[in-house]
Amino acid sequence: MCFKNLPIAFDEDGNAYLKEGVNDPYEYKVVDLGIEQDKLKDLMAKNGFIRSVDYDPVTRVAGALAFHSVVDLEKKKVLSTNSMATLFRGYEIILKGRDPRDAAYISSRACGVCGGVHATTSALAIEMALGIKPPPLGIVMRNILLAIEYLYDHPLHLFLLAGPDYSEELVAATNPELIDKAGNAKARGKAVHGYSTVLDIMKDLNPLKGKLYLEALSMTRVAREAYVAIGGKYPHPQSVIPGGISVTVTISTLNEVYSRLIKFFDYSQKVTAIWDDVFDFFLENNPDYNQCGVRPATMADTGVWDRPDSYDATFENCDKWGNDRWSTPGVLVDGEVVTTNLRELNAGMEEFVEHSYYEDWDGHRFKTDPLGMPLSPNHPWNKDTIPKPGKQSWRDRYSWDTCPTWDRLPMEAGAYSRMYLTAKAQRAPKSKFLQNTGHSMIIQVPKHTLPAATLEWKIPQHWNAFERNRARAYCIPYSAMVAMENWLLAQQLIREGETKVSTPYEIPKTGTHIGFGAWGAGRGFLTHHLIVEKGVINNYQIITPSTLNAAPRAPWGAPGPYEEAVLNTPILEKFDKPEDYQGIDILRAIRSFDPCMPCTTHIMAKDTDHVVTREVTTCACGIE
Amino acid sequence: MTNKKIAKTQTGMSELRAKKIFIGTVGYHILSNHSIGPILLPHLKKQNWPEGVLIDELNWGPIAVVQQFEAMKTPCDQVIFLTAIERPNRTIGEITVHQWLGGLPDRKQIQACVGDAATGVISVENLLVIGQYFKVWPAEVFLVDVEPGPEVAGEHLTEEVAIKVPQVVQTIRTLIKEGTNGIKEISYLRGDTLFL
**Domain limits, chain A:** 8-599
Which residues in chain A touch residue B125, judged by CB atoms under 8 angstroms apart?
61
CA distance A480 to A487: 10
Mean pLDDT, range A546-557, rounded to an integer? 92
Compute the mean pLDDT over every residue in chain A, rounded to the nearest whole number. Answer: 89
**Closest CB from A161, A234, A608 relative to B115:** A161
Confidence of residue A69 (pLDDT cuts 50, 70, 90): confident
Which residues in chain B touch residue A93, judged by CB atoms under 8 angstroms apart?
30, 153, 155
CA distance A187 to A194: 9
**Closest CB from A93, A234, A236 relative to B30:** A93
Are the Cβ atoms of A613 and B28 closer than 8 angstroms? no
Q: What CATH number has the domain bearing residue B34?
A: 3.40.50.1450
Check pLDDT > 60 for residue A521.
yes
Interface membership of B28 toward A (CB under 8 Å): yes
Using alpha carbons only, give the angle A147, A148, A150 rounded to the nearest 5 degrees.
70
Structural domain includes residue B101: yes
Q: Which domain holds residue B180?
A: 16-189
Which residues in chain B touch residue A88, judged by CB atoms under 8 angstroms apart?
153
DSSP result, A391-438? ---TTS--BSS-EEEETTEE-B--HHHHHHHHHHH--SPP-SSEEE-S
CATH 1.10.645.10 fits A8-599, yes or no: yes
Residues forming a β-bridge with A436: A441
Are the Cβ atoms of A221 and B152 closer than 8 angstroms? no
Count, residues in chain A: 624
Which residue has better confidence, A86 or B73?
B73
Helix (H, G, I), strand (E, B) or coil at B130: helix
What is the structure's pLDDT at B11?
53
Percentage with pLDDT > 70 across chain A:
91
What is the structure's pLDDT at A387?
81
What is the structure's pLDDT at A57?
43
CB atoms within 10 A of CB B43: 12
Interface membership of B121 toward A (CB under 8 Å): yes
CA distance A114 to A32: 36
Largest CA distance in chain B: 54
Q: Judge contact between A542 and A602, C-beta under 8 A.
A: yes
Of A145-154, A525-534, A586-595, the one with minimum mean pLDDT is A586-595
Compute the mean pLDDT over every residue in chain B, rounded to the nearest whole number. Answer: 90
The string of pLDDT tens digits covering residues B49-70 is: 999 999 999 988 889 899 999 9
| Residues 6 or more apart whose Cβ sits within 8 Å of residue A209 | none
Check pLDDT > 60 for residue A545.
yes
ipTM of the complex: 0.85
Structural domain includes residue B7: no
DSSP result, A372-403? S-B--TTSGGG---EE------TTS--BSS-E
Which residues in chain B touch residue A595, judged by CB atoms under 8 angstroms apart?
119
Mean pLDDT, range B112-122, rounded to an integer? 82
Mean pLDDT, range B95-115, rounded to an integer? 93
Q: Which one of B34, B69, B119 makes the best mutation probe of the A interface by having the most chain A beta carbons within 10 Å?
A: B119
Nearest to A475 by CA among A299, A277, A268: A268
Mean pLDDT, range A189-206, rounded to an integer? 98
Structural domain includes residue B113: yes
User: Between chain A and chain B, how many beta carbons pairs sit less than 8 Å apart?
Assistant: 138
Residues forming a β-bridge with B54: B22
Check pLDDT > 50 for residue A188.
yes
The string of pLDDT tens digits covering residues A325-373 is: 999 999 999 999 999 999 999 999 999 999 998 889 999 999 999 999 9
Structural domain includes residue B2: no
Q: Judge contact between A2 and A344, C-beta under 8 A.
A: yes
Q: Judge contact between B159 and B150, C-beta under 8 A.
A: no
The string of pLDDT tens digits covering residues A595-624 is: 765 444 322 222 223 222 222 222 233 334
Are the Cβ atoms of B153 and A235 closer than 8 angstroms? no
Structural domain includes residue B195: no
pTM for the full model? 0.90
Structural domain includes residue B6: no
Check pLDDT > 80 for residue B33.
yes
Domain tally, chain B: 1
**Closest CB from A61, A91, A613 relative to B30:** A91
Are the Cβ atoms of A603 and B153 closer than 8 angstroms? yes
Of A41-55, A181-195, A224-238, the one with minimum mean pLDDT is A41-55
What is the structure's pLDDT at B59?
84
Structural domain includes residue B170: yes
Confidence of residue A82 (pLDDT cuts 50, 70, 90): confident
Are the Cβ atoms of A64 and B121 closer than 8 angstroms? yes
Which residues in chain B touch residue A113, judged by CB atoms under 8 angstroms apart?
60-61, 64, 118-120
CA distance B79 to B176: 9
CA distance B35 to chain A (A): 11
The string of pLDDT tens digits covering residues A303-314 is: 999 999 999 999
